């Protein structure tokens, strides 16, 4: 799977923040909105939202259609259309446009599995579905500013909007979204190469009800896109009325003044800034302006240092998910501070953080609610750290130890004996796991792997972890019997207890 493949596995831990309409994702979205107040007669849990009627002739006119287009008889009744997992060429954009124009009752539409969606379809949808509450256009690469601005022109009552991967989307459209959709509680703008701080500043200024904001992999975003830290605010107040000579900017973005906001974003709970070019000052400004963040994703923000983690400590008990993969400049001291300040952490990713040692693992293991932890390629970790996890983090559910090459099989054996809730363990690239007999308990490697990658692949899930534990228990017994009888111990690949 390679370095990034392992990191992807770790990334998909997140129960509420993984892209796509997962059960908890939809439920959080609706709970956070005022939809329930407006439709109190309906069941807006995941089961209620997407429940088919007992029969097609049921009196209820609320139902969903998944991974197919509605028939002409269903046009007037469908409320939720989900096109997410479809084979290529399932239908044409002309067919989808006809549906968009003739389904006026649509409230939620997911088109992430229909990349052929065009601006025409989005325009027809905006004109027809005047009660649209949620729209996912992720990966609809043909959609541009034309389609998105038609959505804003119609002032739809949107509560959530996903525009991930729309390569042609620019600032004017995003600014219009922020200024028009005042009810937005969830906004995703990942993988937008043309997005700049200009429009993101409008999001912070106007979208005050947001609970989830995702801006991952937007290469032009810098500190200018985010609230200024308290130090910049104090400096701005000091020079109020004066005009000090500014330094000569190198780009037009540097001419933007600091974003000084006089309000706080109390509602923001999930923020994803993966691979954005931000510094410690941006993190300081964000946590000061949004002090109740629960999920903070900073993976790939390589310019961050320990100072950013000191700012994150201000979130204290509100923070429960922290992703810092590839933030390689952080050290044990900062991780210790975070673990002692944010005691409710349940999911932590410090993969590829090369400076961390067992000291960080000791502190993370002491967190009473820790359930998911990624230590991929943290080379300085030894068996001492694993013993600490085995002793204290007994409720762990997912653990990633790939490429931690100093670990022994004995320490991991103790770990899986004490962690009875463990459902997923990755140990790819750990030399000790090349031991005879261990590979047969691993999940099969992807078909795209070469011979070397297949040989190193070690991922254990569900019942395979229990089977591995029983195999290692047997081998431990064989070794003790061999020592007691003064017989040389020879590892076996099978499950027999014979000493010879």
Q: CA of 171: how far to CAs of 45, 199, 487, in Å?
A: 34, 5, 74
Percent of the chain residues past pLDDT 70, beyond the cut: 81
Q: CA of 204: how far to CAs of 28, 161, 175, 187, 261, in Å?
A: 21, 16, 10, 12, 8
Query: What SS3 state is found at 180?
Result: helix
Q: Kindly calculate the radius of gyration of the chain based on its CA atoms and give it in whole angstroms.
A: 26
| Mean of all residue pLDDT scores within the chain | 85
For residues 81 and 95, give the distance between their C-alpha atoms in angstroms, rounded to a whole number.
14
Query: What SS3 state is found at 399?
Result: strand
β-pair partners for 188: 162, 214
Q: CA of 2: how far to CAs of 127, 253, 401, 403, in Å?
A: 46, 36, 13, 10
Query: In the predicted model, is pLDDT for residue 26 greater than 60?
Result: no
For residues 384 and 388, give the distance between their C-alpha atoms in angstroms, rounded to a whole number.
6
Q: Is the dihedral of CA 307, 310, 315, 318 positive or negative?
A: positive
Kindly tell me the burial class for residue 267, based on how many C-beta atoms sit within 10 Å of its own C-beta (0-12, 13-18, 19 or more).
Answer: middle
For residues 398 and 402, give the distance between their C-alpha atoms in angstroms, rounded to a whole number.
12
pLDDT for 38 equals 34
pLDDT for 6 equals 44
Q: Which helix (H) or strand (E) holds 108?
A: strand 108-110
156, 225, 213, 151: which is closest to 185 by C-alpha? 213
pLDDT in tens, 174-195: 999 999 999 999 999 999 999 9
Q: Is the dihedral of CA 202, 204, 210, 211 positive or negative?
A: positive
Residue pair 14/8 in contact by the 8 Å Cβ criterion: no
pLDDT in tens, 67-109: 999 999 999 999 999 999 988 888 999 999 999 999 999 999 9
How much is the pTM?
0.84
315, 308, 292, 287: which is closest to 226 by C-alpha? 287
Query: In the predicted model, is pLDDT for residue 451 greater than 80?
Result: yes
Residue pair 26/46 in contact by the 8 Å Cβ criterion: yes
381, 296, 326: which is closest to 4 by C-alpha? 326
Kindly tell me the burial class for residue 257, based on how many C-beta atoms sit within 10 Å of its own C-beta (0-12, 13-18, 19 or more).
Answer: exposed
| Mean pLDDT, rounded, for 23-34 | 41
50-59, 312-321, 474-483: the lowest-pLDDT one = 50-59
pLDDT for 52 equals 41
Beta strands in 26-84 (DSSP E): 63-66, 78-82
Query: In the predicted model, is pLDDT for residue 453 greater than 70?
Result: yes
First to last CA, the chain: 37
pLDDT in tens, 98-156: 999 999 999 999 999 999 999 999 999 999 999 999 999 999 999 999 999 999 999 89
Q: CA of 288: how far to CAs of 66, 318, 326, 331, 344, in Å?
A: 42, 13, 24, 23, 19
pLDDT for 21 equals 41
Query: In the predicted model, is pLDDT for residue 254 greater than 90?
Result: no
pLDDT for 62 equals 56
Map 422-485 to HEC letters: CCEEECCCCHHHHCCCCHHHCCCCCCCCCHHHHHHCCEEECHHHHHHHHHHHHHHHHHHHHHHC
Residue pair 351/376 in contact by the 8 Å Cβ criterion: yes
pLDDT in tens, 342-363: 999 999 999 999 999 999 999 9
Query: In the predicted model, is pLDDT for residue 59 greater than 60?
Result: no
Confidence label for 252 from pLDDT (cuts 50, 70 and 90):
low
216, 207, 165: which is closest to 186 by C-alpha? 207
Confidence label for 11 from pLDDT (cuts 50, 70 and 90):
very low
- In our burial notation (b when 16+ CB lie closer than 10 A, e otherwise), range 461-498 reads eeebbeebbebbebbeebeeeeeeeeeeeeebeeeeee
67-76, 266-275, 395-404: the lowest-pLDDT one = 67-76
Q: CA of 179: how far to CAs of 54, 147, 175, 284, in Å?
A: 41, 17, 6, 25
Query: In the predicted model, is pLDDT for residue 37 greater than 60?
Result: no
Q: Which residues, 6+ apart, have CB-to-CB distance to 158 below 8 Å?
A: 132, 133, 134, 135, 151, 181, 183, 184
Q: Tokens 């995941």 — which residue?
A: 46
């Amino acid at each position: 799977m390679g370095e990034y493949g392992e990191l992807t596995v770790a990334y998909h831990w997140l129960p509420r923040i993984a892209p796509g309409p997962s059960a908890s994702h939809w439920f959080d979205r609706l709970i956070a909105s005022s939809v329930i107040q407006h439709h109190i007669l309906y069941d807006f849990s995941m089961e209620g939202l997407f429940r088919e009627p007992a029969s097609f002739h049921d009196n209820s006119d609320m139902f969903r259609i998944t991974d197919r287009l509605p028939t002409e008889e269903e046009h007037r009744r469908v409320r939720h259309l989900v096109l997410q997992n479809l084979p290529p060429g399932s239908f044409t954009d002309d067919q989808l446009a006809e549906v968009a124009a003739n389904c006026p009752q649509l409230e939620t539409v997911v088109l992430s599995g229909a990349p052929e969606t065009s601006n025409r379809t989005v325009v027809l949808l905006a004109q027809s579905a005047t009660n649209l509450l949620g729209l996912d256009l992720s990966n609809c690469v043909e959609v541009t500013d034309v389609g998105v601005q038609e959505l804003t022109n119609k002032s739809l009552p949107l509560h959530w909007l996903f525009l991930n991967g729309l390569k042609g989307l620019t600032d004017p459209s995003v600014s219009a979204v922020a200024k028009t959709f005042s009810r937005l509680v969830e906004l995703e703008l990942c993988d937008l190469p043309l997005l700049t701080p200009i429009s993101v500043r409008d999001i912070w200024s106007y979208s005050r009800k947001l609970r989830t904001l995702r801006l991952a992999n937007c290469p032009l975003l810098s500190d200018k896109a985010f609230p200024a830290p308290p130090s910049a605010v104090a400096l701005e107040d000091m020079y109020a009325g004066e005009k000090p000579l500014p330094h000569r900017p190198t780009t037009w973005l540097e001419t933007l003044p600091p974003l000084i906001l006089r309000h706080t974003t109390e509602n923001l709970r999930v923020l994803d800034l993966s691979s954005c070019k931000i510094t410690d000052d941006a993190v300081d400004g964000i946590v000061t302006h949004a002090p109740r963040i629960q999920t903070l994703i900073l993976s790939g923000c390589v310019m961050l240092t320990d100072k950013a983690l000191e700012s994150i400590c201000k979130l204290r008990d509100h923070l429960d998910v922290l992703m810092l993969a590839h933030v390689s400049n952080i050290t044990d001291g900062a991780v210790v501070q975070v673990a002692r300040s944010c005691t409710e952490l349940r999911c932590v990713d410090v993969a590829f953080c090369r400076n961390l040692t067992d000291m960080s693992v000791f502190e993370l293991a002491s967190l009473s609610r820790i359930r998911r932890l990624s230590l991929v390629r943290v080379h300085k970790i030894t068996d001492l750290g694993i013993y600490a996890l085995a002793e204290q983090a007994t409720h762990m559910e997912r653990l990633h130890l790939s490429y931690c090459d100093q670990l022994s099989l004995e320490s991991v054996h103790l770990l899986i004996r004490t962690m009875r809730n463990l459902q997923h363990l990755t140990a790819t690239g750990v030399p000790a796991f090349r031991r005879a007999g261990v590979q047969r308990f691993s999940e099969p490697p992807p078909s795209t792997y070469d011979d070397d990658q297949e040989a190193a692949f070690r991922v254990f899930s569900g019942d395979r972890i229990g089977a591995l534990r029983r195999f290692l228990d047997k081998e431990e017994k064989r070794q003790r019997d061999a020592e007691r009888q003064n017989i040389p111990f020879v590892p076996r690949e099978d499950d027999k207890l014979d000493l010879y």
